[in-house]
C-alpha cells in the first residue's frame, strides 16, 4: 500500500504529460491558421495590453472641490446706482461644487401676509365667487383662496404674501449682463485610495504668480484654474445673453485620466464644459420643456412691527462641477487574467483551424485519420494492462 | 545559416500543429461529457451573454440634479394667520439635490446675548454654585457657566443667547401638516462619458403640457417628474404625520439602466423611494438611536441698537436625490474576454470527463493506454534525429 | 440522408474526444513543470480566490449623510462679550455632508453703496487720475472706478460697497480658537442596491446611551460617530491654531469594506482624516499656492432708509465627508470567470514546459519525435477512408 502511494507520488512528480500533436503540412490551412493566431496575438498585445491597458488595475478618485467667484457688476436701475459683488450674487456663499451665479432677477419688495388678488396671468381666472373655493389652493396659485372673485383683475382673492410676485415679464436685457466678466477659481483635490495618491489641480507648473495673472484657455492655458464665466457659457454651447436672461445649467467636468506607471507629474486635469438639461450643443433644436434656471429666496425684515420680506426670483447660471477621476497602475492580477483570457481565445483559434482542416480541405479524411484514434467498446482485442503493453511491445511498431 | 532561418520560417508558416485526439466510444462517459459541455455552453450563452450582457462595456453616469418645490401652507397659530410658500420652507433655496422641507418648528424669538438660567431639562441640574464652574461649558449645555446656581430652575446660570431655546415639547400636530400636498419637480441630466450620450429625465413622452398636469404614480405615470411630498413619504415606508412632527430623511433614487444597443428612447429613469438612517420599511422595528431630522438656523436683526436673533429649530423631511446610472454597449473586448473565459471553462469540462474515463470506468486501463504514450529515460532505443526519422522510415509503421 | 444525420447525431452523443498525451519521464522537466503548475494553482486559489475574493461580485454603495455640530465659543472683543453657537458658526446650517465651521473672521460693519478709495494694499496704486479709467474694473479691485485718484491713499476712487473691506491683517490668534472643542455628529446611511442591503454607521453596538457619552478615538472608540473638531484637524496633519487662523479643508473618509458572505454585523465603517488641497501630511513641504480657506457672506439690513450690509470674510475648517462603500458577495459568474482564466493560465504553464522539453533538454529530438506526428502533402500514401482504416488494419501496427 505504502509503495503504491509512493509510486503514484513519484509518477506525479517525475512524469508530466504533454499533448501529442500532428504537424499538418498544408499551406492553405497553415497560413490561414497562423494569420488567425497572429491576429489574436496582435489583439491581445496591441489592444488589450497597450490600448486598453489591461495590465492595470483601475481606481476611481474621490474628490473635493472649492470654488470662488470674483468680479463686480454695476447696475443703474431707475436712477439707482448699485454695485454687486460676489457676496451679493453667489448662492450658496461658501464655495460649493454646485452653485448659482445670479444674472437676472425679479424683486418683489415689501411683501407681507395679507389678502390680495391673484396674478392675472391667465391661469387663475374667475368670473364669480363660485370659482374661488374658500380655503382651497390651486396648483398654479400663490395662496389660499378667500372665496371672493375680484372684478378688477378677474382673479380670485387669496390670502398670501402680498402683493403677489409678477413674474410675467423677465427683465431684458438681463440686469447683470456684465456677469460675463466674472472669474471662477476652482480648487480640486482628488484621492486615489487604492494607490495612496493625492493630487490637486494646482499642479507643479501652476504657482501663485501664474494664478494671479492667468485665464483658462483650452490651447494656451489648459491648466489655469481660473475661468471667465462668459467663456464657460460659450464653450458649453449657450449664448451668454440668452442664458443670462432666463438662466441655465452648465456642467464643468474635470477629467483626470492618470497612468500611475508614469511619473505623477503627467497626471493632469482636463476641463470640459457642457450644457445640462438639454439646452446645450449636443441636443437637437426641438422644443424641450423646462428650459432656464431660476429659484426664489426671501429676505425677511420687520417694519413698524409688521413682518415683511423681499422676495427675489433669481435667474442665473448654475454651475455643477463634476469630477471624473480614473487612475491605472500595473498589477499582476489583471495582467494574468488578461493573459488567461488570451490563451482561451487562442483555443478558439485552434478550434477554427481544426474545422477548416477537418471539414473544408479536400484531403480531410487523411487529416482526420491523423488526428483521431478510435476506440470501440466490444472490440475483440481488449486493452492489455498499460505497464505491460508499454514494456513488452517493440517501440517502433507500437506506441 | 540563412537557409536554416528560411526553413524555420517556412516551417512556422506552412505547418500547423493540432492536438491528436482519441475518440472514445463509451456511451456513459460520452453522454455525461456532452451534458457537461452543453451545460457550459448554455451557461456562457444564456447567462453570461444574454442575462448579464457580458458582451457589453459598462459606463457609470455622471449626473446633475435640479429640484423645485411648489405649494403653500396656511397656519393659524394663536390667532395669527400666516401663509408659507417655497421661499419660506425649503433649505437651501437654490434647488440642490439634497434639501429639507420644513414641516414643524420651534421658534425662539428675540434672543440676545445675556445671562440666563439653563433649561431645566434634567441634564443640567445643580444644587449649589459649586456645581457650576465659572467659564466652563458642559457638553449638553447651551453656554458658558457664570458660576451661579439659580434656585428657581435648579440649573446653572449661563452666558448665552437668552432666553435659552426650550425644545422639550415638539408641536403636535406638526405646524405645517399640509406639507403633504406640496409637489416636488425634479430635473435630472445624466452623461455617459464613454458613449458620448447625454440624457434628461424629461424624456420624449414628457412634454410641457404633460408636466403642467401630471403627478407621479408608479403604475399610471412612471415618467412624470412631479412628485407629491406625501406620496414620497408614504412610498418610503414612513407615516407622514410622524415624519412631519420629528423629521426624517428620505432617499429618492433615480435609477437608469440603459442598454445602448437598443434605441436611446428605451433609456428611461425609474424612481424609487426609501427611508434613510434606519426608520424606513427595510429595517426592523427595534429601537434605533437618532431618529428624526432637525437643524437650527438663526435670523439676525438689530432692535434698538441691540443685536438679536430668532432661532428656529426646524424639523422637516430631508430629501436626498441619488442617481444611479449605468449603461451598457456592445464592445469587442468584454466579448472576447467572456469567450476566452468560456473556452477556459470548457477545458475544465474536458478535465472532468477525463477523470471519469480514467478513474471510474471499468475499462479504464484500456483508455489510459489509448490516451497516453510513455517515454522512459534510459530506453535502449534513443530517438533518431527528427528529420531523418520522418523521411526514412515507412509512414505506416512509424509515425 | 436520414440515417446520415442519425449517425452524425449518435456519433456526437456517444463518442467524445480527449487529447492524446505523452507521459514524459524526465525528472528535471517534470519537477520544473509541476512547480510551475502548482505555482499557478496556488496563485489562483490563494491570491485570486482568498486574498482578492475573486469569487465575489462587488457593489459600490450609494450613501447619504447628515451632520450636526455642537459646542459654544465665548469671545471678548474690545470689551464686548459674545457667545457663538452652532447656528452662528456653521455654513450651511442644514447638516450637509460638506460644511464650514467658522474659526476666524473679518467683519466689515455698515457697508453701503457709495464712493470711496480702494484699499492701499499695493495692488491698486495710482499717482494721477489717468491711472483710474472711469467705469472700468480691475481684476484685483473691489468696484467700478470713478476716474479719480485719491491722494491720501494713492489709490483710485471706486464706486462700491463702502468702506472697502480691509483684509490685510488676519486676526491672530483666531477669534474662535475654542472651536477645537466643538463636536461633530455624523449619521451615514449606505445602500448596496445589488444586494438589497441598507446599513447605517450607528451599528448594533452604538446605542443611544453610548452616543450620549462617547467620543471617537481610533483605538478605544472606533465606532463612535461623535468627533472632536480638534482631533479631526490634528489627525489630518494640520495644526489647529494654524488652520483656525487662515482656514483649511479636511476630508473625512468613511470607508466601508463589507464581506456580505459573513454576517452583516461585521460590516462596519472606518473613519479616516486627511488634509485636502495639499496642506496635509501626505504632501511635501514645498510651497503650494492657495492655502487656507475663506469665503465672504453678507447680512443685509436697512438703516434710516439706506440699505446696508455687514460683510463677513469667514475663515474656517471646511469638512468634506466622503463615503467609500464597497461590498462583495459570492456569485457564480465571477467565480467561473476566475476559474476560466485560471485554466487559461494553466495552458500557459504547459506551453512553458513544452518549450523546456523541446528546446532545452538534451534529448529534445527524442521528445519531439514522441510529441509530434508529421503529415506531408504529396505523400505517396494518401489517407484511406477513415472507417475502413480503423476496421481493417490490425490494431497493434496501425492506430
Closest chain A C-alpha to B122 CA, distance in angstroms? 36
Grid cell of A300 as nine digits = 425677511
CB contact under 8 A, B296 and C74: no
* DSSP notation for C83-138: EE-HHHHEESTT--SEEEEEEEEEEEEEEEEEEEEPP-SSSSB-SSGGGS-TT-B-
User: Between B378 and B208, whose confidence is greater?
Assistant: B208
> What's the pLDDT at A20?
83
* Close Cβ partners of C160 (under 8 Å, ≥ 6 residues apart): A72, A83, A85, C113, C114, C115, C116, C142, C143, C144
Q: Label residues B87-99 b or e (16+ Cβ within 10 Å = b).
A: bbbbbbbbbbbbb
The helix/strand/coil state of B191 is: strand
B240 marked ligand binding residue: no
The helix/strand/coil state of B98 is: strand
Grid cell of C370 as nine digits = 514522441
B-interface mutation test, from A20, A316, A384, most B Cβ less than 10 A away:
A20
pTM, two decimals, is 0.82
CB contact under 8 A, B399 and C373: yes
CB contact under 8 A, B191 and A251: yes
In this complex, the chains that touch B, judged by 3 or more CB pairs closer than 8 A, are A, C
- In order of A127, B306, C108, C162, C305, the CA distances from C311 in angstroms are 50, 18, 5, 10, 19
In this complex, the chains that touch C, judged by 3 or more CB pairs closer than 8 A, are A, B
Pairing of strands A56-60, A372-376: unpaired
Say which DSSP state C3 is in. Answer: H
B11 marked ligand binding residue: no
- In order of A334, A338, B214, the CA distances from A194 in angstroms are 15, 21, 46
- Taking only the tens place, the pLDDT of each residue in A155-175 is 889 989 999 999 888 998 899
> What's the pLDDT at A53?
85
- Whether residue C117 contacts residue C160, with contact meaning beta carbons closer than 8 Å, is answered with no
A313 marked ligand binding residue: yes
Which one of A50-59, A358-367, B23-32, B135-144 scores highest in mean pLDDT? A50-59
Q: CB-CB: which of B278, B345, B372 is closest to C23?
A: B372
Chain A residues touching residue B23 (CB < 8 angstroms): 372-375
Once rounded to an integer, what is the mean pLDDT over residues B155-164?
90
Once rounded to an integer, what is the mean pLDDT over residues B311-319?
93
CB atoms within 10 A of CB A244: 29
Which band of pLDDT confidence, cut at 50, 70 and 90, is reported for residue B291?
Answer: low
> What's the pLDDT at A278?
55
Closest residue in B to A48 (Cα) is B333
Grid cell of B82 as nine digits = 400666516
- Taking only the tens place, the pLDDT of each residue in B89-106 is 999 988 889 999 999 999
> What's the pLDDT at C329?
93
- Whether residue A261 contacts residue A57, with contact meaning beta carbons closer than 8 Å, is answered with no
User: Between A135 and A203, whose confidence is greater?
Assistant: A203
> What's the pLDDT at A128?
85
- Please check the confidence at residue B272 and state whether its pLDDT lies above 70: yes
> What's the pLDDT at A163?
92
CB contact under 8 A, B340 and C337: no
- CA angle, C94 as apex, C90 and C99 as ends, to 5°? 45
Which band of pLDDT confidence, cut at 50, 70 and 90, is reported for residue B242?
Answer: confident
Positive/negative CA dihedral, B96, B99, B102, B107: negative
DSSP H/E element including B58: strand B56-60
- Please check the confidence at residue B13 and state whether its pLDDT lies above 80: no
Pairing of strands C197-200, A98-117: unpaired
Give the residue carrying C-alpha cell 457676496. A87
Closest chain A C-alpha to B126 CA, distance in angstroms? 39
* DSSP notation for B326-374: EEEEE-HHHHHHHHHHHHHHHHHHHHHHHHIIIIISTTHHHHHHHHEEE
- In order of A243, B140, B269, the CA distances from A286 in angstroms are 18, 59, 21
> What's the pLDDT at C260?
92
CB atoms within 10 A of CB A367: 22
By residue count, chain B amounts to 399
Closest chain B C-alpha to C27 CA, distance in angstroms? 9
Nearest of C273, C251, C323 to residue C60 by alpha carbon: C323
Q: CB-CB: which of A141, A309, A345 is closest to B339?
A: A345
- Taking only the tens place, the pLDDT of each residue in A297-315 is 898 888 887 888 999 999 9
Cis amide linkage into residue A304, ω under 30° from 0: no
- Whether residue C254 contacts residue C321, with contact meaning beta carbons closer than 8 Å, is answered with yes
Dihedral in degrees, nearest 10, Cα atoms B32, B38, B40, B46: -150
- Please check the confidence at residue A376 and state whether its pLDDT lies above 70: no
Task: Provide the number of CB pairs (under 8 Å) joining chain A to chain C.
Answer: 244
CB contact under 8 A, C18 and B22: yes
- Please check the confidence at residue B117 and state whether its pLDDT lies above 60: yes
Give pLDDT < 50 ranges for chain C: 279-290, 377-399
CA within 13 Å, CB half, B6: 3
Domains of chain B, first to last: 26-55+331-371 (1.10.287), 60-110+171-281+291-330 (2.60.490.10), 119-163 (no CATH)
Give the span between the Cα atoms of A237 and B198, in whole angstroms: 14
> What's the pLDDT at C387?
41
> What's the pLDDT at B363?
79
Which phi and psi (to 5°) does residue A173 adopt?
-70, 155
Once rounded to an integer, what is the mean pLDDT over residues B153-180?
90
Say which DSSP state B265 is in. Answer: G
Dihedral in degrees, nearest 10, Cα atoms A369, A374, A380, A384: 110
B295 marked ligand binding residue: yes
User: Between B106 and B304, whose confidence is greater?
Assistant: B106
Give the span between the Cα atoms of C261 and C328, in whole angstroms: 8
Once rounded to an integer, what is the mean pLDDT over residues A145-163?
88
- Please check the confidence at residue A121 and state whether its pLDDT lies above 60: yes
> What's the pLDDT at C100?
94
Closest residue in C to B300 (Cα) is C299
Task: Provide the number of CB pairs (under 8 Å) joining chain A to chain B.
Answer: 243
User: Between C114 and B279, whose confidence is greater?
Assistant: C114
Percentage of chain A beyond pLDDT 70 is: 90
Task: Provide the number of CB pairs (under 8 Å) joining chain B to chain C.
Answer: 241
Once rounded to an integer, what is the mean pLDDT over residues B199-212?
86
Chain A residues touching residue C29 (CB < 8 angstroms): 16
- Taking only the tens place, the pLDDT of each residue in B350-378 is 778 888 878 887 877 887 777 777 765 44
CB contact under 8 A, B19 and C14: no
Q: CB-CB: which of A20, A302, A340 is closest to B344?
A: A340
Once rounded to an integer, what is the mean pLDDT over residues B70-88?
87
> What's the pLDDT at C277?
65
Grid cell of A265 as nine digits = 507629474
CA-based end-to-end distance of chain B: 29
Chain B residues touching residue A386 (CB < 8 angstroms): 365, 368-369, 372
Q: CB-CB: which of C29, C255, C377 is closest to A16?
A: C29
- Whether residue A254 contacts residue A324, with contact meaning beta carbons closer than 8 Å, is answered with yes
By CB atoms closer than 10 A (0-12, 13-18, 19+), residue A311 is buried
User: Between A377 and B264, whose confidence is greater?
Assistant: B264
- Please check the confidence at residue A102 and state whether its pLDDT lies above 90: yes
CB contact under 8 A, B18 and A350: yes
Nearest of B36, A364, A372 to residue C11 by alpha carbon: A372
A195 marked ligand binding residue: no
Q: CB-CB: which of C249, C297, C300 is closest to A64?
A: C249
B-interface mutation test, from A250, A287, A289, most B Cβ less than 10 A away:
A289
> What's the pLDDT at A397?
37
- Please check the confidence at residue A11 and state whether its pLDDT lies above 50: yes
Nearest of B105, B107, B106, B118 to residue B162 by alpha carbon: B118
Q: What is the 3-state secondary structure (H, E, C) of chain A?
A: CHHHHHHHHHHHHHEEEEECEEEEECHHHHHHHHHHHHHHHHHHHHHHHHHCCCCEEEEECEEEEEEEEECCEEEEECCEEEEECHHHHEECCCCCCEEEEEEEEEEEEEEEEEEEECCCCCCCECCCHHHCCCCCECCCCCCEEEEEEECCCCEEEEEEEECCCCCCCCCCCCCCHHHHHCEEEEEEEEEEHHHCEEEECCCCCCCHHHHHHCCCECCCECCCCEEEHHHHHHHCCCCHHHHHHHCEEEEEEEEEEEECCCCHHHCCEEEEEEECCCCCCCCCCCCCCCCCCEEEEEEEEEECCEEEEEEEEEEEEEEEEEEEEEEEEECHHHHHHHHHHHHHHHHHHHHHHHHHHHHHCCCHHHHHHHHEEEEECCCCCCCCCHHHHHHHCCCCCCC
Of A25-29, A253-257, B240-244, B249-253, the one with minimum mean pLDDT is: A25-29
> What's the pLDDT at A185?
93
Amino acid at each position: 500500500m505504502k509503495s503504491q502511494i509512493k509510486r503514484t507520488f513519484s509518477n506525479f512528480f517525475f512524469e508530466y504529460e504533454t499533448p501529442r500533436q500532428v504537424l499538418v503540412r498544408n499551406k492553405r490551412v497553415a497560413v490561414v491558421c497562423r494569420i488567425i493566431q497572429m491576429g489574436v496575438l496582435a489583439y491581445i498585445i496591441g489592444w488589450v495590453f497597450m490600448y486598453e491597458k489591461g495590465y492595470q488595475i483601475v481606481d476611481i478618485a474621490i474628490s473635493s472641490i472649492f470654488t470662488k467667484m470674483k468680479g463686480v457688476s454695476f447696475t443703474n436701475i431707475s436712477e439707482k446706482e448699485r454695485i454687486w459683488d460676489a457676496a451679493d450674487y453667489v448662492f450658496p456663499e461658501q464655495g460649493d461644487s454646485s452653485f448659482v451665479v445670479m444674472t437676472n432677477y425679479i424683486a418683489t419688495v415689501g411683501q407681507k401676509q395679507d389678502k390680495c388678488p391673484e396674478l392675472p396671468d391667465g391661469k387663475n381666472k374667475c368670473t364669480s365667487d363660485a370659482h374661488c373655493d374658500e380655503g382651497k389652493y390651486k396648483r398654479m396659485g400663490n395662496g389660499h383662496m378667500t372665496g371672493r372673485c375680484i372684478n378688477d383683475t378677474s382673479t380670485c382673492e387669496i390670502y398670501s404674501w402680498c402683493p403677489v410676485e409678477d413674474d410675467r415679464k423677465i427683465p431684458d436685457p438681463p440686469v447683470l449682463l456684465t456677469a460675463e466678466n466674472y472669474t471662477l477659481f476652482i480648487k480640486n483635490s482628488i484621492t486615489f485610495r487604492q494607490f495612496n495618491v493625492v493630487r490637486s489641480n494646482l499642479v507643479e507648473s501652476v504657482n501663485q504668480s501664474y494664478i494671479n495673472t492667468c485665464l483658462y484657455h483650452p490651447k494656451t492655458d489648459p491648466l489655469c484654474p481660473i475661468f471667465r464665466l462668459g467663456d464657460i457659457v460659450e464653450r458649453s454651447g449657450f449664448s451668454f445673453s440668452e442664458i443670462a436672461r432666463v438662466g441655465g445649467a452648465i456642467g464643468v467636468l474635470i477629467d483626470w485620466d492618470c497612468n500611475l506607471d508614469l511619473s505623477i507629474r503627467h497626471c493632469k486635469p482636463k476641463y470640459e464644459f457642457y450644457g445640462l438639461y438639454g439646452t446645450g450643443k449636443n441636443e437637437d433644436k426641438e422644443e424641450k420643456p423646462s428650459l432656464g434656471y431660476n429659484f426664489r429666496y426671501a429676505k425677511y425684515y420687520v417694519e413698524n412691527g409688521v413682518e415683511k420680506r423681499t422676495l427675489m426670483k433669481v435667474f442665473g447660471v448654475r454651475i455643477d462641477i463634476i469630477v471624473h477621476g480614473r487612475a491605472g497602475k500595473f498589477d499582476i492580477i489583471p495582467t494574468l487574467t488578461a493573459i488567461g483570457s488570451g490563451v482561451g481565445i487562442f483555443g478558439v483559434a485552434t478550434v477554427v483551424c481544426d474545422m477548416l482542416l477537418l471539414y473544408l480541405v479536400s484531403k480531410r479524411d487523411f487529416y482526420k485519420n491523423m488526428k483521431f484514434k478510435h476506440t470501440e467498446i466490444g472490440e475483440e482485442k481488449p486493452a492489455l494492462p498499460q505497464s505491460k503493453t508499454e514494456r513488452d511491445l517493440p517501440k517502433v511498431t507500437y506506441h
